[in-house]
Structure 1
Amino acid sequence: MAIRLRNPGRNAMIRRFFLLCLAVSVAALFILVPSTTSAPVMTRKEEVGSSSSLPSDLYSSGLHYARRSVLAVRSDPLRARADLIRKQVGDHAAVAAAYASFARRLKLESSKQTRLFAELARNLSLLVGAHRTLLHRAGPIDETAVRGFERGVKDRIRAARLLISDAKDSFDNQLKIQKLKDTIFAVNEQLSKAKKAGAFSSLIAAKSIPRSLHCLAMRLMEERIAQSDRYVDPPTPPPELEDPKLYHYAIFSDNVLAASVVVNSAVRNAREPWKHVFHVVTDRMNLGAMQVMFRMKDYSGAHIEVKAVEDYKFLNSSYVPVLRQLESANLQRFYFENKLENATKDTTNMKFRNPKYLSMLNHLRFYLPEMHPKLHRILFLDDDVVVQRDLTGLWKIDMDGKVNGAVETCFGSFHRYAQYMNFSHPLIKEKFNPKACGWAYGMNFFDLDAWRKEKCTEQYHYWQNLNENRTLWKLGTLPPGLITFYSTTKPLDKSWHVLGLGYNPSISMEEINNAAVVHFNGNMKPWLDIAMNQFRHLWTKYVDYDMEFVRQCNFAA
């Protein structure tokens, strides 16, 4: 249903009025917009052309008045550009300073590089300071100033990059070297601790008696008790034992199997074994087992005498200084102290902590002339040696009046007297040459007549008494031997005696095969599980595996 409007003329008049108002509004808008967009920022100090239109109270109150355009809220590209340049300068200055510091720490040969980096970092910092007013200006930034700042920065950054590029390889290598040094230091610390622990463990192993060896001694002792009549010594010793025309050997040992290997190897390689006499001395505890071992078999006619230390009545504490010293509680504590932290603190002389040095067997070598008064010459053999060829050639050597024939062991600065004795002591410094060459025990040919003439036993007693507090040398028998036979030792050809099979795996087989005697000196004895396998066969081939007691004790061939 349509509505009919009354008075149409009036409605048309109203419509025309509204259209006129709209046109006026649009025209006013176009007039105002250009004036606002072109108006500058104005403050109280500026001369404003339309000042009459501004309220007078704003000027009188001192307040700033600004009329900003719509475009004034946008960021200033020159300021952003200047900030970016400043950041680059700061970054490169920090890098240059770091390289300079690192160069100083590494103490590089190129102190010039250190100076260049420090100077570069300083110049970059000064460049930023010189343009501080440009970077912190509140108003618009001058584009010309920014371009000048940028050119200066680019030149210095280019120089910094060239310097860093040239030095980078050197710095990288130095850093790697430093890291490797740190790693090597840490590994060396671990290695040192491991070596000390290993040396201590090896010492414990060297002190121990293997089960099979203990079994053999017990079996032999059982046989000695069960068949006592069979092993009684004859009332009169055979004359061969004191015959100076025969070849005499001295062996001091409490190891039954080791002593038998020495005798076996010497007899098998002798051209005339019946002319060889072996004087075996042990302690009272092992005397019975040793007697059975050397009576159960015929050693190709060789003569074997078995005695105990106690059979030599002159060996007592009133005559022998070392027996008196061995009764010292302090010395026994030194030998038997097994705490790891204490036993390993003196690793250089740890080998002298072996309790074998408490045994008089180890010092009998200094009393050979008194033990064998009718003999002229005698060959001393340790119980850890193996004889590989006939040794009678030693008796044909002209000793030139010397007492001791031995193989020298020095090379370079090693095994000199300075390594065995305390040359800070005035007596040692006065009497001996620290560079004198050392020699080895294990195979020593002694002229007993020259010994008696030189009174070597008295010399040994003199120095042993002076060393009661171990101020002249550490423990062991080699230092007093070096002192006793100083200037009375004749060097022998090295092929007579090759050492080191108990600690040195690098000995050549050619050298070993050419040796008359090989010596398993060191902790890795051939009868222990820790022995070196490449040398062990040299010893095991002289073990009597056919002997019943050896088989019963499970000795591995």
Structure 2
Amino acid sequence: MAGGGGGGRASAQRRAALAALITLLLLASLAFLLSATGTASAPNSAPFRLAAIRRHAEDHAAVLAAYAAQARKLSAASASQTESFLSISGHLSSLSSRISLSTVALLEKETRGKIKRARALAGAAKEAFDTQSKIQKLSDTVFAVDQQLLRARRAGLLNSRIAAGSTPKSLHCLVMRLLEARLANASAIPDDPPVPPPQFTDPALYHYAIFSDNVLAVSVVVASAARAAAEPARHVFHVVTAPMYLPAFRVWFARRPPPLGTHVQLLAVSDFPFLNASASPVIRQIEDGNRDVPLLDYLRFYLPEMFPALRRVVLLEDDVVVQRDLAGLWRVDLGGKVNAALETCFGGFRRYGKHINFSDPAVQERFNPRACAWSYGLNVFDLQAWRRDQCTQRFHQLMEMNENGTLWDPASVLPAGLMTFYGNTRPLDKSWHVMGLGYNPHIRPEDIKGAAVIHFNGNMKPWLDVAFNQYKHLWTKYVDTEMEFLTLCNFGL
């Protein structure tokens, strides 16, 4: 196809030239027809016939020479067509030079035969070039529509991310109400005691870690897990949040204590003195102005340092709902591995190559792009194996390597986890963790019903107006509607 195209400048110039050529040829063809009509009505004298034949021969020779020039630009498959154009054009030029008054009768028949063949070739070539031009125009249209669709998808993705990442007005109102209650009656909401209760450090209990600044979402996780537990008093939740949100969490759990004797420890980043710029590349990068690094998300890589007395911790995201007793996770054999998680590589889907930049030589040397990826949401961590394998130190090395964001997108914590626990993750049975309720409207009801944990990962969080209606009730039934601030903040529950 002439021009061959991807929409480049050179291709556009060739297409413009071809269009101009076709236009000129159409005008020339019209002139030929008009001249032929005029010839029919002219006197049948030898000089007039001589002039007409010479003019037709010269004109058709020029037409075929132009087509030959255009045919040279086509692929090698058109070489024979090019030769035909040049051959007939040459014959016509030769005949035109040989025509005279004395030879007009002899050469008229031969000349008209050549002209007839030239017209047939020109007509076929014009049809071919017109078809190629139409195909090129159609290709350009398809390309333009594809680009518009791509821009629309990007805009939609950006809008959904903004909607999911922004704090809804109702949640902001809830936090403000809780902080106002704390300021109005600080003595009624005491801080944690200087010496933590023994349950917080007892390795014989079931310990969970949640990193979040969403007080409502955390309350749902705790409430759903407590109601699903056979022994709720043996379950301990360690909630780590930003310092500015800690008072709001204290007010919530002071007014609405954890149900059924479940224990909740509320912590802020400032409660861990080892989290400083000299010891943590995460803190240093944030202090250096890298706003793409979400601190709360990356704190999960410090679990052994945060909870030195514990041997095993289950990490829960704040967008999950617990439907079955999770005590069985403490009996899962990790086989010496550090992490247990749900694998997500169904077929060729979601392998390491999807999350990490394998064009970097350092990544190519250490990791396999076909390795199976896994998901956060529900993870079992053996902290003793973590300390043994020095996973925090490995994470620090990766963060140093990714300071300019070339290995993975620093806004996403999953790639860092995939690399930190590479070859050190054991797959969990799928019945423990069903994910996708925040983006997939077609999950089988039996899969949701049989899952120990359902995960609203995706942009359609259950506390947002854009949540799927068929899933939202699975989350809202654990919301403590007796908290008066929910009504004041217009939660549509």
TM-score by length of 2: 0.76
- How far residue 490 of structure 1 moved from its aligned partner, in angstroms, is 1.2
The residue that corresponds to 1:255 in the other structure is: 214
- Cα 1:429–1:176 change in 2 (3 A) is same
- Cα 1:100–1:509 change in 2 (3 A) is farther
* Cα distance in 2 for residues equivalent to 1:124 and 1:508: 74
- How far residue 400 of structure 1 moved from its aligned partner, in angstroms, is 0.6
Q: Which moved more, 1:523-532 or 1:434-443?
A: 523-532
SS in 1 for 2:417: helix
Q: Deviations over 1:475-507 (max 9, x none)?
A: 2433332232122111234454444555x5575
Structure 2 residue corresponding to 1:244, chosen from 182, 187, 203 = 203
* Cα distance in 2 for residues equivalent to 1:94 and 1:184: 35
The residue that corresponds to 1:155 in the other structure is: 113
SS in 2 for 1:442: strand
Q: Deviations over 1:153-185 (max 9, x none)?
A: 443344345546666665444322211222233
The residue that corresponds to 1:211 in the other structure is: 169
- How far residue 404 of structure 1 moved from its aligned partner, in angstroms, is 0.6
Structure 2 residue corresponding to 1:490, chosen from 406, 415, 426 = 426
- How far residue 508 of structure 1 moved from its aligned partner, in angstroms, is 4.0
Q: Look up the equivalent residue of 2:239 and give its one-letter code.
A: V
- Cα 1:182–1:544 change in 2 (3 A) is same
Structure 2 residue corresponding to 1:459, chosen from 376, 394, 399 = 394
1:41-440 matches, within 5 Å, as: 77-90=45-58, 92-93=60-61, 95-107=63-75, 109-131=77-99, 134=100, 141=101, 145-160=103-118, 162-163=120-121, 171-195=129-153, 197-232=155-190, 235=193, 237-270=196-229, 272-297=231-256, 298-329=258-289, 331=290, 335=291, 353=292, 357-359=293-295, 361-410=296-345, 411-412=347-348, 414-417=350-353, 419-421=355-357, 424-426=360-362, 428-440=363-375
1:103–1:113: 8 Å Cα contact kept in structure 2? Answer: yes
Structure 2: runs of 5 or more not aligned: 1-41
- Cα 1:94–1:495 change in 2 (3 A) is farther
Q: Which moved more, 1:429-438 or 1:307-316?
A: 429-438
Q: Look up the equivalent residue of 2:87 and give its one-letter code.
A: E
* Cα distance in 2 for residues equivalent to 1:324 and 1:221: 30
Higher gyration radius (CA): 1
1:500–1:519: 8 Å Cα contact kept in structure 2? Answer: yes
SS in 2 for 1:407: strand
The aligned length equals 447
- How far residue 550 of structure 1 moved from its aligned partner, in angstroms, is 1.2
* Cα distance in 1 for residues equivalent to 2:443 and 2:126: 48
* Cα distance in 1 for residues equivalent to 2:128 and 2:482: 70
SS in 2 for 1:209: coil
The residue that corresponds to 2:37 in the other structure is: none
Q: How high is the sequence identity, in percent, across the aligned residues?
A: 52
Q: Which moved more, 1:218-227 or 1:398-407?
A: 218-227
SS in 1 for 2:374: coil
Q: Deviations over 1:418-475 (max 9, x none)?
A: 842465344x444333443333223211112211222222332344345445565542
* Cα distance in 1 for residues equivalent to 2:472 and 2:104: 87
Q: Look up the equivalent residue of 2:176 and give its one-letter code.
A: M
* Cα distance in 1 for residues equivalent to 2:93 and 2:133: 27
